[in-house]
Amino acid sequence: MDLLQEYYLGNTLQSWLCALITLIVALTALIITQKVLINKLSKLAAATDNQIDDLIVNMLRQTKHFILVIASIYLASLTITLKPSLAELWQKVVILMFIFQAGLWASAGISFVLGEIIRKRSAEDTSTKTTITFLGFVARFVLWIIIFLLILDNLGVNITGLVAGLGIGGIAVALAVQNILGDLLASLSIVLDKPFVIGDFIVVDSLSGTIEHIGLKTTRIRSLSGEQLIFSNNDLLKTRIRNYKRMSERRIVFSFGIIYQTPTEKLKNVNKIVRDIIEKTENARFDRVHFKEYGDSSLNFEVVYFVIDPDYNIYMDVQESINLEIFRQFGEEGIEFAYPTQTLYVSN
């Protein structure tokens, strides 16, 4: 018992033994608690659609064992007396380690959230992965800069000048690469707002084609003639884009003319013939047909109908079917199509 009361490094042997026991018990309890929580929450996460429990599990798995060791040593140190200078230094080490662990948790949270976004959107747009992965890199980079500044601040370094320098440097870099940043932000806008996705057929000014790739700086389009068109993301969003893939149905307007010599009764019958043809055509929805105007050498009709499928090939099949049937029935009714003619009258 006298041996336990002897002093070593400012504390009795009994105090050192209590600290050691506290260290072992605390470390064992923390490790067991971590494993139990991960197992329980993993089972709960597998049974529910809620993503919060998955997030917590992912963050718990990023808890490092050396952090648990430091936490246990800190609890054990409360049972002994340390020199003020040593106690202050030890307290700073503990704070720095917990700041580092908080950074690991935050980084795991960012990775999990962005991973879920990629998983949900990659099925409909494979370009999402590239942009969101880059966004995650930027977010983690900013996070660890903040962690680094917090560590320096706790070490007693005056970070005011450093923050100001980073701000000025950031402005200078942003001005130097503003075109690149513009394209990166445009890429982010495309991913989040989705004006188009891979596979959409779009028309940009006089150029048209199918979206093949949406990158961080450029979007690539395969034109109908076969060549690849490359657009800057920033320039692409500044123009008017016509997205034909989003079309639910296609409105068709076409005209034809018949000769002036057509009898009135047959002229009146044109509307009914065209209406019946369109209404009987598959994938077509009739809208209107009118005797529109007197042309230079024809009586002009205008027809409007809708193709209920946006596919261009289906539209052409429908239009061809309508044209052939109009030609056949007009032939049977003796209704003649007009073509540019001139009649010359000679006065005697």
* String of DSSP letters for 305-336: EEESS--HHHHHHHHHHHHHHHHHHHHHHTPP
Bridge partners for 221 per DSSP:
211, 229
For the chain (348 residues), the mean pLDDT of every run of 10, in chain order, is 57 75 86 84 73 77 82 80 75 83 84 75 60 74 80 72 60 56 73 79 87 83 89 84 84 93 92 94 93 91 92 91 95 89 76
What's the rounded Cα separation, in Å, for the pair 184 and 171? 16
CA dist 163 and 178 (Å) reads 21
Max distance between CA atoms of the chain, in angstroms, equals 151
Cβ(214)–Cβ(191) under 8 Å?
yes
- 186, with CB counted inside 10 A (0-12, 13-18, 19+), is buried
CA angle 89, 82, 73 (to 5 degrees): 70
Q: Structure pTM?
A: 0.52
pLDDT score recorded for residue 320: 95
Q: What is the pLDDT of residue 248?
A: 83
Write down the pLDDT at residue 62: 82
Looking at residue 207, its pLDDT comes to 87
Q: Are 259 and 273 in contact (CB under 8 A)?
A: no
Q: What pLDDT shows up at residue 141?
A: 79
